Amino acid sequence: MDALHIAINGVAHDLKGVDARTTLLDLLRDRLHLTGSKKGCDHGQCGACTVLVNGRRINACLSLALTHEGDAIITIEGLAQGDTLHPLQAAFIEHDGFQCGYCTPGQICSAIGMLDEVRRGQPSHVSGDGEHVELDDAEIREGMSGNLCRCGAYVNIVAAIRDVARQAPES
């Protein structure tokens, strides 16, 4: 079994000859040349490889490509509409939410997934058992704890995410 049908950023791919050892991250970067998703630790600890699979954020480095038969993947390359940036991309620029930029694609994909989790009412270690999750800075930091930034741009990353969350309040 080495065939894989997978949609990446809305484009269907019909792949053959996928080595079972290939992770989703390596498939994206090495085979499809979508190098926006980054390989940091390659152990699921840094979050630089974060992508959205069927709308949920995961670590692409710990996920074998062949397990994604039929899945729809969104990477950093799939977020902008032409020249119009995704609100989180624009907010990261506005708030200077990076220095070297290596962790940024993972930060942004993770933030999209995290904001969706909050919209769906998912609780967190910080929010506890309350019905309503308030997206304050502590909640953002907890939700983003799977994404490391070695430059230490956390203050501005939190500001960018907070800004977008307030632009698009819970519906």
Task: Give the nearest distance from C-beta 136 to other proteins in angstroms.
Answer: 15
36 binding other proteins? (CB under 8 A): no
149 binding other proteins? (CB under 8 A): no
Question: Sheet of 56-59: strands edge to edge?
Answer: 11-15, 4-8, 72-74, 50-53, 56-59
Dist. CA 34–CA 114, nearest whole Å: 23
List 27, 36, 37, 50, residue binding other proteins (CB under 8 A): 50
The C-alpha angle with vertex 53 and arms to 42 and 136, in degrees rounded to 5, equals 85
Dist. CA 76–CA 109, nearest whole Å: 7
CA 33 to chain centre: 18
Using the contact rule CB under 8 A, the part of the chain among 30-38, 50-58, 91-99, 154-162 near other proteins is: 50-58
List 20, 93, 151, 155, residue binding other proteins (CB under 8 A): 20
Please identify, using beta-carbon distances, which residue of 66 and 164 lies nearer to other proteins: 66
Dist. CA 164–CA 126, nearest whole Å: 20
Task: Give the nearest distance from C-beta 142 to other proteins in angstroms.
Answer: 5
Q: Which residues bind other proteins (CB under 8 A)?
A: 1, 19-21, 23, 42-44, 47, 50, 56-59, 62-64, 66-67, 69, 110, 113-114, 117, 120-125, 128-129, 141-147
